[in-house]
Structure 1
């Protein structure tokens, strides 16, 4: 199907962050856009205001008439949607063109120079940072992001004339295999999504295959020390990066007074005194990767310096929601043990003299089953942990798998509680806190306005 010829696009799973960027893209092209999602959210409500027709009941009768012509309608679905979903079954039975989100993203971006950021963690911040660096420079870019940029209030940036598209390359369900990267960063390959991959070896193999898709003339920028071994085509340059070593790295790191200032070192330049707009230590590494991509694609040293200083961050990525002398409250999407450990270490650097509490909502039964001991190790770096029940997303419960597995493996002496989500606000009202971080990829973030009212 030629994307230019379609008149309407229907999204099954319209409320996902990756899906919403495509919804905004098709709205910008003047297409009729509609879709289904299981529950309303701030994001779906915003999409409705922007022109999308979204409903929340699995009901074929609610599909708009404009989306029932199979010759002019494209159906896009997320792999998180169950195979027996009634609306998806209707489209299948009636011969509609049906694509996964990643396939459509691959089609849209095939004619551009795709700058992709892949990895178990760090990819949303790094890709959003890269998009900001290029967008505010003379280079420009289009961008499909996995989070809402605080600089722009959206996860889609459009450019009429830049050849570059920044993409967050998601490994879930091997989605990133649909892309044709011109250049790519790989941030990390700690095993995840074992419900899809089965083994660590299969997960690493998926990343190896992804590196074969990078186009000749392009480049791979890979974090030092990863277990996975890249396999690039002839004509693809390979660079390494990390916080303090590799072809791209930082030197002269200064942390203090609420600021982080670094010097950026590249094979052919050095940019001194770069101030991080979001001064948390994990952003040194994310920033090095983003600056490497921006530098290799023509952003000037001064544009990079200004862009890093003006970067406002991403919703739910080390996101300060309340900051007073008495109380700090952050939200962080971290939902893998390695991400949580990194997040906690960054907070410790900023608030070494304060008690740090996490409210953690585990995401997926399979991930909890596979990694509960590692979750307990990471959460044990905190002073206090409050666990809610598992957020199931696309999964059915697994017997014997609950937050209790993590709770039982936390280090002796840590203050720890299990609290059902429905009782959380009342429980928090009985306690006092200094630094609180709400962790996880589920729906706990929706509670933050209420949590602020209780704690403030």
Structure 2
């Protein structure tokens, strides 16, 4: 797809998806440059890797042969307009990802509301230990892959994270797919849960083998043949299920049942949700003929990914974790997992809701999820540029009457939080900084103190 005659220009190169494609193109021999509105850690790292990055540029270099842009970049952006006028072939990130996927004989797309990134990285590490040398493109940073969002492998196997937002995954036609779960999400685009099921059905129909969570109602996925699917979960009716979960020195050990085969697996990530992520990866690995030993080794060495219950350091001797979760179910599963590994500690959750429409639509579920921590600190809702609906009127203050005043603090400005935590935090506390917006900066601030 890319070669040494290409000069690829990436608009929005500082994003987690486009930056991965920039790295992929460079590894295939192309010259790569790009721009973004602001500098961030990714743009700095790309520069160190030899990719030319300009900040807030409006010009495309003269010798560019191809342009890839982030879906967040509007059609009216000057650089997209330049590309049109000059007749430069242009693709969105999902379109380019789809073309890359189609160039591999075996391709696995990992989809679902929650757990995509973790499952993608887990499966990649399993195939790596099996000697299959997969290429992996994932929507996060993976420490075991030089803290990058891509693993450069061979040309036989590719694993990609496939996002359902605005039906981006419809541009991808994999040979295999995983569906971790389907919940109400991206409601700035989807009308309701039924609309979301319809979109997943369209994505999955052409796929040869689909590994899916047992909790997904099969009658909602229209046109998906039973012979295509393999299920995973806790129920013995699933093709691959788990039992006998035990906790052992910061690990979960559980038994995996696949047909007549039973074997034990150890993972170092907490929570039932991570057992399910591992099970999804296991089920697909078995479909691909991976030996059990490689599955066990790949998962036992999996050390997690960026901003998924990621230990960032300490603040006044309390452990500080950062997590990307922004859905009510993610709050609950993360807190439950933390309690499994730290059963006798107070859990303080600092949460920044992400997008007003999501917050309003899932209001009741957020109220329930906010009961999970021992102490909740809420900041104002993060307005997502270009994704907010003007008639949605909701504030963080709307939660106050529904939450216990003894266990809830509303601090609209995250900059006020460090001083408050310094007064109340105890050495044995667990502090979780959660949200998909810039609240992660707070974790950095706290752990630098």
TM-score by shorter chain over 0.5: yes
User: In the aligned structure 1, how far is the partner of 2:89 from the partner of 2:396?
Assistant: 41
The Cα of 1:9 is off from its aligned counterpart by 1.4
Q: Structure 2 unaligned segments of length 5 or more: list them.
A: none
For residues 36 and 403 of structure 1, do their structure 2 counterparts lie closer, same or farther at Cα, with a shift above 3 Å needed? farther
CA contact (8 A) 1:6 1:74 kept: no
SS in structure 1 opposite 2:362?
helix
The Cα of 1:288 is off from its aligned counterpart by 0.7
Which residue in the other structure is 1:322 paired with? 313
For residues 270 and 140 of structure 1, do their structure 2 counterparts lie closer, same or farther at Cα, with a shift above 3 Å needed? farther
Answering whether residue 328 of structure 2 is matched by residue 337 of structure 1, we say yes
User: In the aligned structure 1, how far is the partner of 2:87 from the partner of 2:171?
Assistant: 22
How many residue pairs get aligned? The number is: 441
The Cα of 1:87 is off from its aligned counterpart by 2.0
CA contact (8 A) 1:79 1:173 kept: no
SS in structure 1 opposite 2:10?
strand
Which residue in the other structure is 1:445 paired with? 440
User: In the aligned structure 2, how far is the partner of 1:38 from the partner of 1:281?
Assistant: 39
For residues 382 and 279 of structure 1, do their structure 2 counterparts lie closer, same or farther at Cα, with a shift above 3 Å needed? closer
The Cα of 1:175 is off from its aligned counterpart by 0.7
Bigger mean CA offset, 351-360 vs 80-89: 80-89
Which residue in the other structure is 1:70 paired with? none
SS in structure 2 opposite 1:114?
strand
Which residue in the other structure is 2:150 paired with? 156
2:92 to 91, 100, 106: 100
Which residue in the other structure is 2:27 paired with? 28
The Cα of 1:337 is off from its aligned counterpart by 1.3
For residues 86 and 404 of structure 1, do their structure 2 counterparts lie closer, same or farther at Cα, with a shift above 3 Å needed? farther
Answering whether residue 215 of structure 2 is matched by residue 225 of structure 1, we say yes
Deviations 1:286-328 (A, max 9, x none): 1111111112112211111111111111010111223699522
User: In the aligned structure 1, how far is the partner of 2:328 from the partner of 2:443?
Assistant: 22
Which residue in the other structure is 1:300 paired with? 291
CA contact (8 A) 1:82 1:394 kept: no
User: In the aligned structure 1, how far is the partner of 2:285 from the partner of 2:67?
Assistant: 34
Deviations 1:372-396 (A, max 9, x none): 3322221221111112223333235
User: In the aligned structure 2, how far is the partner of 1:368 from the partner of 1:92?
Assistant: 37
CA RMSD in angstroms comes to 2.3
Answering whether residue 270 of structure 2 is matched by residue 283 of structure 1, we say no
SS in structure 1 opposite 2:436?
coil
CA contact (8 A) 1:9 1:26 kept: yes
SS in structure 2 opposite 1:80?
coil
For residues 323 and 276 of structure 1, do their structure 2 counterparts lie closer, same or farther at Cα, with a shift above 3 Å needed? farther
CA contact (8 A) 2:348 2:430 kept: yes
The Cα of 1:118 is off from its aligned counterpart by 0.5
For residues 5 and 401 of structure 1, do their structure 2 counterparts lie closer, same or farther at Cα, with a shift above 3 Å needed? farther
The Cα of 1:279 is off from its aligned counterpart by 4.0
For residues 235 and 362 of structure 1, do their structure 2 counterparts lie closer, same or farther at Cα, with a shift above 3 Å needed? closer
Deviations 1:220-248 (A, max 9, x none): 11111214633456695311111454111
CA contact (8 A) 1:355 1:435 kept: yes
Alignment of 1:239-250 (within 5 A): 239-245=230-236, 246-250=238-242
CA contact (8 A) 1:189 1:227 kept: no
Q: Structure 1 unaligned segments of length 5 or more: list them.
A: 68-72
Which residue in the other structure is 2:101 paired with? 109
Bigger mean CA offset, 80-89 vs 123-132: 80-89
User: In the aligned structure 1, how far is the partner of 2:268 from the partner of 2:281?
Assistant: 13
The Cα of 1:146 is off from its aligned counterpart by 1.0
The Cα of 1:139 is off from its aligned counterpart by 2.1
For residues 386 and 82 of structure 1, do their structure 2 counterparts lie closer, same or farther at Cα, with a shift above 3 Å needed? farther
User: In the aligned structure 2, how far is the partner of 1:285 from the partner of 1:331?
Assistant: 21
User: In the aligned structure 2, how far is the partner of 1:134 from the partner of 1:353?
Assistant: 37
User: In the aligned structure 2, how far is the partner of 1:416 from the partner of 1:373?
Assistant: 18
CA contact (8 A) 1:386 1:419 kept: no
User: In the aligned structure 1, how far is the partner of 2:397 from the partner of 2:85?
Assistant: 43
User: In the aligned structure 1, how far is the partner of 2:223 from the partner of 2:153?
Assistant: 29
The Cα of 1:209 is off from its aligned counterpart by 0.8
Bigger mean CA offset, 8-17 vs 371-380: 371-380
Deviations 1:357-416 (A, max 9, x none): 111122223222322332222122111111222333323574633322344433464232
Which residue in the other structure is 2:259 paired with? 267
